[in-house]
Amino acid sequence: MKIPVTWRRTLLGLAAAGVIGQCSAFSFGAAEEAVIIPPPALDETTQAHSETAVFAGGCFWGVQGVFQHVKGVKKAVSGYAGGEANTARYERVSDGDTGHAESVEVTFDPSQVSYGTLLQIYFSVAHNPTELNRQGPDSGTQYRSAIFPANTEQQRVAQAYIAQLDAAHSFTKPIVTKLETYNGFYPAEEEHQDFLTEHPTYPYIVINDLPKVAQLKQLYPDRYQEKPVLVKAGM
């Protein structure tokens, strides 16, 4: 019998918290540690006051939660990118064969926070860019590290930054983040939006995602905003 992914995450959280014993069918992991990295030497230049960027870095609950606390971010929506519209559903994407990655579409004001700064937060806090097709306790191509550039300028900045970080050996292992062609973003179901804020005591969130928000506040105090920009607040 296939165990629903929402059950799986509950089991992962409970097991890591010591409430139930570890099940051999699943792998367990602690929260990823943030890595202090330099800002990108090359950044985007634009006069626009609104832009979007799409990032994939494991479970979208935590990635969304991090970006919702970044000053200059207008909206951060959990969803799917990389596959077709007809498979952009949580249970279908969780099969791992749709081409989709759990992703977050970030709408931001470049006059307040640059694309390069978002990349710095993405690589250092939001996820571990050296894990291939997995992130923490979750494994599969749907949890891959990927950037979906919205234009050639984003492509150029992201490509240069990855090369910069690899050349400086900013991480103990090579970065595996791929730049993928953007062919659409599909918002996730309503129950996945604002999940971190709405479920702060959910075991998976406590263990894997709340530490990321704390690390954002610690490493980037000037970029951190206490009140998150919530998707449902704008509905």
Strands 185-187 and 73-81: antiparallel
- The Cα-based distances of 62 to 21, 39, 40, 66 in angstroms read 24, 22, 23, 6
Both tokens of 186, joined, read 């599909």
Q: How far is CA 75 from CA 39, 66, 107, 123, in A?
A: 23, 12, 5, 19
153-154-160 Cα angle (round to 5): 90
CB of 146 closer than 8 Å to CB of 42: no
Distance, CA of 29 to CA of 32 (rounded, Å): 8
Report yes or no: 148 and 50 within 8 Å, Cβ to Cβ: no
- Which residues are identified as catalytic? 59
| 3-class DSSP assignment, residue 74 | strand
